[in-house]
Amino acid sequence: MNYPPITQHGLIGDLHTAGLVAMDGALVWLAWPRFDSPSIFAAILDHVRGGSWRIAPQASYTSTQHYEEDSAILLTSFATADGRVELMDWMSPWEGPTSEHDLFRLVRCTEGSVTLVGRFAPRPDYGRAMPRLKHSDSGLTFEAHGELLALASSHPWQNDGVEATLEVTLQAGEQLCCVLCSGREARLEVIPRELEMTRAFWSSWIAHCSYQGPWAELVRRSAITLKLLTYAPSGAIIAAPTTSLPEWIGGERNWDYRYTWLRDASFTLDALYRLGFREEACAFFRWLGEQGRRHGTPLQIMYAVDGAAKLTEEILPHLEGYRGSRPVRIGNDAYHQRQLDVYGGVLDAAYLYEQEGSLLAPWQWAVLRSEIDFVCEHWQELDQGIWEVRSPAAAFTFSRLMCWVALDRGIKLAEQHGWDYDRELWQRTCAAIHADIVAHAWSEAAQAFTQRYGADDLDASLLVLPMVGFLPPDDARVRSTIQQIDQVLGEGALVYRYHSEDGLSGGEGAFLLCSFWMVDALIAIGEVEAAQRRFEQLISYASPHGLLSEEVDPATGFALGNYPQAFSHIGLINSACRLAEVVSKDTATST
């Protein structure tokens, strides 16, 4: 087994965890039972030691992969010289706490005759454990992470104690059925019911999507992907379901994204809200308020999905990494960092959320008010910024900008509802931040608002200036900043985050969220045709299933970084909504 391109994998999940299935029928990533739990299968990070579960034709084949309509049911179709089979992978979504988890694999022969071969090789704890497979009445059992897992199968697997193999020939109309589960007995008879329940869940959920624009299929797929990154028991939203997929092949920029960054989750809520989804915001702000009660304020920038605050970073030297990209990391030491921008993202999402009515409870407002009071006291301090640089802290313009957003949205919320707050302090601080940015972030030499005070380096995060309402889109400095970022950081439709020193060696790809921000910025300044051309180019980097990685190598189009990435799907949704809105207005005006 080699390492297929990142975009040749489909995502399945149950709102507790998620897995990746390659187009060769191999389950190559699955943390169990939670997103941030140790993996059972991690062949995407080491094809020898990581473990995988593959089912595929024995003979040469071609394969394609797509989802069943607007669902998270993944279909991999194989065609051989003698017949065709379709592999269906899914996990049954659970919207609340549960000790039961299951994963289903169903292979149907749709034409002719096909001999299938299978290899079941779980390697718990990121490949650090070798389980003992035992026979059971329905199939196999093994222990992983303190749980007993069971594999039931309609056809027997040959077990040598550390892995199991299968060979079976299916005729047209016949099928192979497997279920892997924990927390209960593995039973094949539940498969039809679980399949229909899963179909009904996704059909009901996506029906709330209000988007009617020209890229509806991609937007719905992005929404489903963001939902799959939601941890249902708590309402927390993770950045990506994987760890250590590299930002550059062979490089060291390999991080664990299976946690909840307050900023990323807030951006996700904003995107889902645009599409008509409300329940996710309700659950997240309940979770956020609970963290304020549990840990006190100020909140740290990120937590585990259950609210745990300590996310100690660890290197796994026994894994070679995707295509040899070491190190493989679990945990994320960025939880120690100060990133002052996070408060603006949270308050912006809260403001949008509250426009539905009086949805925030008094105790939740108390947490948010405390965060804004913290901003008033600390906004002038240095931090690591949105990009979590591992170089010395600096006065990052985006951080100051989002501190202003926190004050601006907080004041509007308080005034709108008559909530208690320090009016004089908040209004004075809001005005002071605005004046400070205008005075110190603009560079005459760069003809742009720059990454940090006292430097001429550009940063694509400043593309959001007109979107957050800091300055009007027709301000000459805003237009110049957009143009300079495009000239210096742009590579075709793609945009890099920055080119400045960040304390790490090696390169990285262009950042898809920043590339979509450029689309939004161009719309804001009235360059709609250019924005639409860029958008069309950007969506060409999606996988065959409509999934997006974090970054792209502009030279090769190769996907980089953890996958699928919430940031990228957020960018796609927001840009599609903005484009659809302006195109609709132009059409209405012309008629």
Q: What is the CATH number of the domain that holds 49?
A: 2.70.98.50
Query: How many structural domains are present in the chain?
Result: 2
> Within a domain: residue 192?
no
| 295 and 157 in a common domain | no
φ, ψ for residue 57, nearest 5 deg: -60, 150
- pLDDT of res. 584: 75
| 240 and 138 in a common domain | no
| 246 and 153 in a common domain | no
> Within a domain: residue 191?
no
> Within a domain: residue 196?
no
From 122, 156, 186, the end of a domain falls on 186
| 120 and 176 in a common domain | yes
Residue of 159, 158, 175 lying closest to 167 (CA atoms)? 158
> Within a domain: residue 2?
no
| 159 and 238 in a common domain | no
- pLDDT of res. 198: 98
Q: What is the CATH number of the domain that holds 586?
A: 1.50.10.10
**In 355-385, alpha helices (H):** 362-378
| 234 and 160 in a common domain | no
Cα–Cα distance measured from residue 299 to residue 263, given in angstroms and rounded to the nearest whole number:
12
| 288 and 145 in a common domain | no
| 150 and 239 in a common domain | no
- pLDDT of res. 29: 99
- pLDDT of res. 588: 64
From 156, 186, 216, the end of a domain falls on 186
Q: Mean pLDDT for each consecutive 10-residue tract of the chain (591 residues)?
A: 92 98 98 98 98 98 98 98 98 88 97 98 98 93 95 97 98 98 92 98 98 96 98 96 98 97 96 94 93 95 97 98 98 97 97 83 94 98 97 97 98 95 98 98 98 98 98 98 98 98 96 98 98 98 98 98 98 98 75 58
> Within a domain: residue 198?
no
Cα–Cα distance measured from residue 491 to residue 499, given in angstroms and rounded to the nearest whole number:
13
Q: What is each CA distance from 268 to 350, 371, 513, 573, 584, in whole angstroms?
A: 12, 20, 12, 10, 24
Residue with tokens 């940063």: 459
| 364 and 250 in a common domain | yes
Cα–Cα distance measured from residue 143 to residue 448, given in angstroms and rounded to the nearest whole number:
57
| 493 and 349 in a common domain | yes
| 309 and 249 in a common domain | yes
| 170 and 225 in a common domain | no
The whole domain housing 176 covers 9-186
- Looking at the DSSP bridge assignments, the partners of residue 256 are 243
- pLDDT of res. 137: 87
Q: What is each CA distance from 168 to 21, 115, 116, 174, 480, in whole angstroms?
A: 21, 6, 5, 11, 64
